[in-house]
Amino acid sequence: EVQLVESGGGLVQPGRSLKLSCAASGFTFSNYYMAWVRQAPKKGLEWVATISTSGSRTYYPDSVKGRFTISRDNAKSSLYLQMNSLKSEDTATYYCARRNWEDWGQGVMVTVSS
């Protein structure tokens, strides 16, 4: 059974940093592109970042480019999202997801507020 378990969320002040983690199991992690998607309260889904199987290629929307960094450790079957210079509009539930939205984690809440 595929499992994606996010962690690392919480309350953070504007301008500060936070790092999310996603522990994957039940599939060969190194064979799959992985992504982060977020959902602001009562809003729709927004893609945040994607990383290739080796980690050599990363992709971001303009809304987070230069502030967020996606990375992975295939030996640990783990995905990460480093979020810097956080803004109030980054407040959302963040989901870890497998390629082409095949599987999703349960999500982790990030609140950016003073």
Q: Are 83 and 110 in contact (CB under 8 A)?
A: yes
Q: Are 49 and 74 in contact (CB under 8 A)?
A: no
Q: CA gyration radius for the chain?
A: 13
The amino acid at 22: C
Nearer to another protein by Cβ, of 24 and 50: the residue is 50
Instruction: Single out the residue of 46, 69, 74, 78 in contact with another protein (rule: CB under 8 A).
Output: 46
**Residues 48-67 contacting another protein, CB under 8 A:** 50, 59-62
For the bound state, the minimum distance from the C-beta of residue 35 to another protein, rounded and expressed in Å, comes to: 7
In degrees and rounded to multiples of 5, residue 17 shows phi and psi of -120, 160
Among residues 76 and 101, whose Cβ is nearest to another protein? 101
Q: How far apart are CA 104 and CA 53, in angstroms?
A: 17
Binding mask 15-44 for another protein (x = CB under 8 A): --------------------x-x------x
From first CA to last CA, the distance across the chain in angstroms is 40
Smallest distance from another protein to CB 22, Å: 12
Binding site for another protein (CB under 8 A): 35, 37, 44-47, 50, 59-62, 95, 99-107
